[in-house]
Structure 1
Amino acid sequence: MDSEVLANAFDYVREHQTPIHSLTIIRNGYVVVDAYFWPFQRGQYHDVASVTKSVTTTLAGIAIGKHALKLHQPLTSVFAAQDIANLDERKKRLTVEHLMTMTSGLDCDASQGEITLSRMRQSSDWGRFMLDLPMRDEPGSRFEYCSGGMHLLSAAITKATGQSAFDFARRELFGPLGINHAAWPMDNHGVSYGWGDLHLEPLDMAKLGYLWLNDGRWEDRQLVPTAWMRAAVRPQARPEGGDEKYGYGLWLQPDRKPSLFEANGRGGQRISVSPEKNVVVVFTGGEFEPGDIGTFILAALKSDRPLPENPAAAAALSAAVNDAARPLPSLSLMPPLAKAVSGKRYALAENPLGLNALTLTFSGAEAAQLQFELKSRNEPSRPIGLDGTPRVSPDGNFGLPVAVSGRWESNSTFVFDYNEIGNINAYRFRLTFSGDDVDVGVSERSRVIQGVRIHGTTAGRAVSGQVH
C-alpha cells in the first residue's frame, strides 16, 4: 500500500476535524496501520453499535455448525416450551435463517428511532415480546431492518446452548481469537443484547474481519463452518432503495470495484472486508462517514505486488500515526460572566437526559469543572478543557473515559462538548445565561437525541424541558 496516500488521509482528518477514533488496516495478513485518534487510546474498547448484529449471526453460525441450532429450524421448535402469541401459519414457517437475513416477516417497525426496539426494551421479557409480535409478511419475502429480531436470535442461541451469547462467544469465538477485553450487556433474562452495545478493541474487530475474510478459519482451526460463512457473504436479501445486499448479518456490495462486505454500526463503526484486495479495514468513531477516509485507502491499494520502498513516505505515515494520538491546543476567552456563574448550582427541569442539576466552576483560563447531578447514578466532577484540549476523566459508562472541552461562544453563552469517546455518544451543550436562569440546548452528533431544550435556574423550581 502507498504510505504517502495513507498519510494524506491523516491530513484530511486533521483539516476537517473528523471525529474518527481509530483506523486499522490489515493487508495480506499484516498490520499496515493501527492508529488511535486522541482522546481515544490504544487498549480501550469501543461500542461497536450494530456491528454487534454481525457477531450475533456469526455465533448463530457456530451454533449451527455444532448442531445446537439448524439453519432452517422453525422458531416454534427452538422455543417449543413456551406459548407463542399471534401464532399463525406464517409464524410457524419463521426460521433461524429468517432472523439472520432480517426477513422475519414480524411486524417490526424501524421508523421513529426504531420504535419496536424501544417498546421491546420497555417490556419485561424482550425475547418473548419479539416472538409474540404479529406477522406482517411471509417470512423470507421482504427485508425489514429489525434490531429486535437480532435480539430474538441471541435468545435462540441462549435457548440452544444453555448460555448467553457472550459466554458462548468467550468459549467458541473470542477465546480462540485471543479477544480478552470485551463487554456485552444482557437483558434481565440473561440474553446478550443481540443488536448492539457490544464493546471491543479495534484490533479485535480486525480479527473478526480477518476470520470472515478467510471463510471462518483462524490459523489451524475452522471456527465458523465454511459453508455457512460463504453463504453469509452472498446476497440473501435485498433492502429497498439502494445497491447494497444483505447476507447473514453483513452488508454486501458485490457490484463495487473492488467488491466488499461490511459489519456496519451507527456513528461510523465498521469492519470492511475486500476479498479481492485481501484487506480488512476497521473504523471506530463518534459520527463520521468512513467512506471519506475509504477513498484514501482505496487509492493506496495501488498493486497486488509489493511497491518499491519509499522511506520518506513510510516515515511520514509513522509520524502521522503518532501525531493522531496527540491533541491540538488553542485558547478560549473568558468573559466577566464566568465569575458570576461559577460555582452556582442550576436546578434543571424534567428532561429526557435524566439531568437534575449542573454546576460549572471557572478557576482559570485553561480549565473548568463540570458537576452533573443525575437521576440514575452519582456522576463524578469532570474537568473541562478551555484551551482547545479536552480533559479526559475516568469512570464513564462501561468504565470508559469521558473527554470534555468548552469555550465561551459569546459574553453570555458557554458551549461544551461532552464526548463519551468509546461509547460513541458525543453531546454538545449550549448554555445561555440570563440573571438567575440558564437555557440549556443539547444535541448529540449521531442523532441519538436532537433539539433538547432544558430550563435551569438558581432560584426556585425550573419549568419543563422541551424536545423539538
Structure 2
Amino acid sequence: MFLLILLAASGCVETPDSGNESSPVNESATYWPTEGWRTSTPEQQGMDSEKLAELLDYVEENDINIHSLLIIRNGYVVTDVYFYPFTNNSVHDVASVTKSFTGTLIGIAISEGYIAGVDQPVLELFPNRTVANVDANKKAMTLEDLLTMRSGLECVNEPYEVTTEQMEDSPDWIQFALDLPMAEEPGTRFVYCSSNSHLLSGIISETTGINELAYANKTLFKPLGISNIIWPSDPQVNNRGWGDLHLTPHDMAKLGYLYLNNGEWDGKQIVPAEWVSESTREQVSMEEDEGYGYQWWVPDDDLPERYDARGRGTQLITVVPEENLIVVTTGGGFNADETAPFLVAALKSDRPLPENPTAYGRLQEKINAAAEPPQPEPVKPLPEMAKKIEGKTYVLDSNPLDLQSLSLNFDEEKGEALFTVGVAENQTLEYLLGLDNVYRFSPGEYGLPVAGKGSWESDNVFVAYIDEVANINHYKVTATYQDDQVTILVQDPTWFGDVEFGGRLEGSSEQEAAARNNTSS
C-alpha cells in the first residue's frame, strides 16, 4: 500500500518556532486548477527539496519502473516527474483507478435524481432485460452491494480476473454480468470483481440515457477542465466502468482535489459532500488493515485518515486530508512502499520552510534528467544466429497469449531490429527495437506509442523489451534459438507473470508434422 509510512508524517512533522509569523501552508489554495495546476517550491509548502531529490536518486539507482510522480500540497504542484519513455502531457491507462471515477458518477446521478439511492435493487435498474439465474439473493442485490464489492455474484479473481476476461469475451458484457449465478447472499462478503463496476457503468447508461463518458463529460470532466480522455467501451457502448480510462496525471489529481474539497469545485458542489464522506468511509473491513468504501480503498489502521484510488501497475491517487496532500503515480509495475520513506523525510512542516536554492536546483536537475533518453551505446556485431533467423517466420505452439508467430529483421546501419508478431485472427504487430539501448517508438493501442529495444544476450538468445508505457504493460520477451526451434519466455510483472512456450521454423519437418497432427486431431 502506497504511503503507508508517509502518513505517519503528521506525527513526526516539525513545528517551527512560535516566533515564525508565516501563514500555515495547510490553508486551501486561492485558485482552482480547472485550467491547470500552479507550481510552488517544496519549501513553500513545508517540504524538503533535498529529500525529494534523494527519492529520484533511489528510483534511478534501483531502476524502479515508475512512469510519473506528482506531489500536490495545498493545491500547488511541488514535484512533477515524468520518467523516460513516458512523457509529459500524455494520457496514461489508470486501470482500476477508473472504479473511483465510476463511483463518483453514481453519486452525481443519485444527486440529480436519476437513481433513487444506494438501496435500490440492481434488477430494478435494468427493467428491459431478462436475467438468468434469478433467485432471492439476486433480487435482493442492491446498488450499494455493487459499490462495496459485496454483490454476491459468482466471480473468480484469483490468480487473475477470470470472470472479467470471460465477460470481455461475451457479446453483451452487461448481460453477462447480470446473468452470473449468485455465490452467496449479497452484502455479506467482499470479493473484488470488475463485473460489479461494469454494471455500475450500465446503470449510468440505463438511467441517464447516455453512456458513462457522455455523462462524465457533462457533470464531472467539463467542470474540472478535463478534456484529454480515452475511455473504451463494450460492444453496446457502455464505457468500461472498471478500468482502461486514460487520463493525464494532472487530471487524475483533479479527482483527488475534488474529494479533498468535499466535492466542491470553484464554488459549485459537483459531488454531494455526503457522497464524498460515504465513499471514502470504511464500508467494508478486511484483513491486513484494509478497508473499502464506494469504489475507493480506505486503509484501516492507526495512521491518519486517507483514501486511495488504485489500479494495477501502481496507478494511484492517494488523498491525505490532514496533510492537504495528493500523491499521484503511474507506472509499469513497482512497489510504491519503496519510495515512502523519502516522502516521509520530505514532509517537514505545516508551515513554509526557508528556501533552499541549492537543493531545489538539484531536484529540478533530477526531474529534467528523468525525462531524457539514455546515451546510445555501441551496437554489438550480430552473431551468426542472427543471420540464420533473419526474415524467417517461426510458428508458435498454442499458448495463453494467443501469439501465432514471430520474426526478426535487423538493420545494422541504423542499429535497429523489426520484431513482428502474429496474433489471433491473422493480424500482425510490428515493433521497432533499438539495439543501442535507446527505445524506438511504434504506434500501439489507442494510437499511444510503444517503446522497444533489444539485444543479443548470447549467440543464440535474443531479448526484446516492449514497453507499452501509457498502456501499462511492459513485456520482456526472451527468444532462445536452437536448430529449427525457438523457446519463448514472455514476462510482464503487471499482468500475467511468466509464460513459456515453444515454436518451430515455418516449413520445417517438425512444424509440418505438428500441423498434420493438429489437422488430424
TM-score greater than 0.5 by the shorter chain: yes
Match of 2:457 among 379, 397, 409: 409
Q: How many residues align?
A: 462
- CA deviation map 1:132-151 (0-9, x unaligned): 22323322222111111111
Q: State the shift of 1:379 in Å.
A: 4.5
- Cα 1:34–1:143 shift into 2, 3 Å: same
Partner of 2:140: 93
Matched letter for residue 353 of structure 1: L
Give me the TM-score of the superposition, normalised by structure 2.
0.85
Give me the TM-score of the superposition, normalised by structure 1.
0.94
Structure 2 SS opposite 1:267 = coil
* Aligned 8 A contact 2:231 2:246 in 1: yes
Partner of 1:382: 431
In structure 2, distance between residues paired with 1:350 and 1:89:
43
- CA deviation map 1:125-171 (0-9, x unaligned): 22122222232332222211111111111111111111111111111
- CA deviation map 1:299-355 (0-9, x unaligned): 211111111100011101111110000122445533333233233333333433333
The answer as to 2:254 corresponding to 1:196 is no
Worse overlay, 7-16 or 345-354: 345-354
Partner of 1:36: 82
In structure 1, distance between residues paired with 2:422 and 2:153:
41
Identity fraction in percent: 45
* Aligned 8 A contact 2:397 2:501 in 1: no
CA-based RMSD of the aligned residues comes to 1.9
Q: Flag structure 1 segments of 5+ consecutive residues without an equivalent.
A: none
Q: State the shift of 1:105 in Å.
A: 1.7
Greater C-alpha Rg: 2
The answer as to 2:297 corresponding to 1:248 is no
Partner of 2:70: 24
- CA deviation map 1:21-58 (0-9, x unaligned): 01111100001111110001112111111111111111
* Aligned 8 A contact 1:439 1:454 in 2: yes
Partner of 1:325: 371
- Cα 1:14–1:331 shift into 2, 3 Å: farther
Listed as ranges, the matches of 1:208-227 within 5 Å are: 208-227=255-274
Structure 1 SS opposite 2:501 = strand
- Cα 1:229–1:391 shift into 2, 3 Å: same
Partner of 1:314: 360
- Cα 1:145–1:432 shift into 2, 3 Å: same
* Aligned 8 A contact 1:254 1:260 in 2: no
Partner of 2:182: 135
* Aligned 8 A contact 2:137 2:185 in 1: yes
In structure 1, distance between residues paired with 2:159 and 2:168:
15
Q: Flag structure 2 segments of 5+ consecutive residues without an equivalent.
A: 1-46, 516-521
Matched letter for residue 412 of structure 1: N
In structure 1, distance between residues paired with 2:72 and 2:341:
16
- Cα 1:398–1:449 shift into 2, 3 Å: farther
Partner of 2:417: 368
Listed as ranges, the matches of 1:73-92 within 5 Å are: 73-92=120-139
Worse overlay, 291-300 or 165-174: 291-300
* Aligned 8 A contact 1:10 1:320 in 2: yes
Worse overlay, 127-136 or 220-229: 127-136
Matched letter for residue 360 of structure 1: L
Match of 1:268 among 281, 293, 314: 314
Structure 2 SS opposite 1:360 = strand
The answer as to 2:489 corresponding to 1:420 is no
Q: State the shift of 1:449 in Å.
A: 4.9
In structure 2, distance between residues paired with 1:439 and 1:400:
29
* Aligned 8 A contact 1:49 1:266 in 2: yes
Listed as ranges, the matches of 1:140-151 within 5 Å are: 140-151=187-198
- Cα 1:341–1:256 shift into 2, 3 Å: farther
Partner of 2:390: 342
